[in-house]
């Protein structure tokens, strides 16, 4: 089915215990604005103007640091649907368009045009409108992203790292009824996949709710799901700083049903990462 895309085996699937903190994120998340936090009362006009200026400054350049930034606070179960909080650096991508490695294929991502949005439903981040939608996280160079995400049934989802004016790396995955759940890593340039820079990786199906960790360090991409390194230090040689984006895309079975229960992100300094590994 995927003979047109070169296949690269990454070796045996390795197991690694994730840090206990992956399941229980920092209690400091409770002090941040959460999706179910009650609305604030109206403020005087001058206070509102100051708040608008602060928001404009934050929108123009949120700086990721080595401290964890909570994007989706854990243990929030407010009933009903709520929009993304304004004070958290997480936003729907309004006009995201690109062409993945296999246009026209019923499952592998191809021509992507955003037509939907994410919101919080009962405390979890998920698709609430359309079939192609994504949320943008802060701009990052080297970073770690971790949380708990639930995946069920079939369909497609993706992540973009180093995304900046159509260039970056696309990590995509589709779960099918008969052909398993293959993964693809694609270099993007000009908003289009570079055919010779697409790799099909080992199959791995993400089942139900799992803790996960993504990292880009020293131009290598790693994805750990529970105790499995699905993608282990895969070289992405032309990586450069850019936005980190997570989304879903339409397939013959529709988009993948994701529910993100917690999510946090931080910048990584290579020297600190090396010391931690020793």
The pLDDT assigned to 75 comes to 74
The pLDDT assigned to 62 comes to 81
Q: Which CATH number fits domain 14-29+43-277: 3.40.710.10, 3.90.100.10, 2.60.120.560, 3.40.50.920?
A: 2.60.120.560
Per-residue CA distances from 177 to 24, 100, 105, 180, 226 (Å):
33, 22, 15, 7, 23
Task: For residue range 226-277, list pLDDT tens digits in order.
Answer: 989 999 999 999 999 999 999 999 999 999 999 999 999 999 987 655 565 5
What whole-number distance in Å separates Cα of residue 253 and Cα of residue 1?
A: 17
The pLDDT assigned to 274 comes to 54
**pTM, full prediction:** 0.77
Cβ atoms of residues 130 and 116 within 8 Å: yes
Q: Rounded mean pLDDT of 209-220?
A: 97
Cβ atoms of residues 137 and 245 within 8 Å: yes
DSSP 3-state percent helix, strand, coil across the chain (nearest 5): 10, 45, 45
Task: For residue range 49-82, list pLDDT tens digits in order.
Answer: 434 444 443 444 689 999 999 999 987 777 899 9
Q: How many helices (H) and strands (E) does the chain have?
A: 2, 19
Cβ atoms of residues 264 and 26 within 8 Å: yes
Task: For residue range 90-133, list pLDDT tens digits in order.
Answer: 999 989 999 999 999 999 999 999 999 999 999 999 999 999 99
Q: Rounded mean pLDDT of 135-148?
A: 97
The pLDDT assigned to 31 comes to 35
Residue 83: count of CB within 10 angstroms of its CB: 12
The pLDDT assigned to 195 comes to 84
Task: For residue range 19-36, list pLDDT tens digits in order.
Answer: 444 333 333 333 333 333
Sequence-ordered strand ranges (E) for the chain:
14-15, 69-72, 81-82, 91-92, 97-99, 111-113, 117-121, 124-129, 133-140, 143-152, 155-164, 167-175, 183-189, 192-201, 208-217, 220-225, 228-235, 242-249, 257-267
What whole-number distance in Å separates Cα of residue 151 and Cα of residue 274?
A: 32
Cβ atoms of residues 224 and 14 within 8 Å: no
């Amino acid at each position: 089915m995927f003979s047109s895309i070169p296949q690269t085996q990454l070796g045996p699937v390795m197991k690694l215990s994730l840090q206990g903190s992956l399941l229980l994120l920092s209690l400091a998340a409770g002090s941040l604005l959460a999706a179910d936090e009650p609305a604030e009362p109206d403020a005087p006009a001058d206070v509102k103007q100051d708040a608008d200026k602060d928001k404009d400054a934050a929108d123009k350049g949120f700086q990721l640091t080595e401290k964890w930034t909570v994007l989706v606070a854990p243990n929030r179960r407010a009933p009903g649907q709520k929009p993304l909080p304004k004070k958290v650096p997480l936003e729907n991508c309004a006009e995201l368009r690109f062409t993945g490695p296999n246009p026209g294929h019923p499952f592998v991502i191809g021509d992507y045009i955003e037509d939907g949005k994410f919101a919080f439903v009962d405390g979890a981040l998920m698709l609430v409108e359309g079939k192609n939608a994504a949320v943008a996280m802060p701009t990052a160079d080297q970073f770690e992203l971790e949380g708990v995400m639930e995946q069920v049934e079939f369909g497609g989802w993706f992540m973009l790292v180093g995304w900046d004016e159509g260039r970056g790396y696309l990590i995509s995955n589709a779960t099918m009824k008969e052909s398993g759940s293959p993964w693809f890593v694609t270099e993007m340039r000009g908003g289009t996949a570079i055919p010779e820079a697409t790799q099909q990786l080992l199959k791995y199906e993400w089942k139900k709710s799992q803790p996960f960790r993504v990292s880009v360090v020293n131009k290598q991409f790693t994805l750990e799901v529970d105790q499995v390194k699905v993608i282990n230090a895969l070289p992405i040689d032309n990586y450069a700083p850019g936005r980190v984006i997570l989304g879903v895309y339409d397939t013959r079975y529709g988009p993948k049903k994701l529910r993100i229960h917690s999510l946090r992100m931080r910048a990584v300094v290579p020297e600190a990462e090396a010391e931690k590994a020793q």
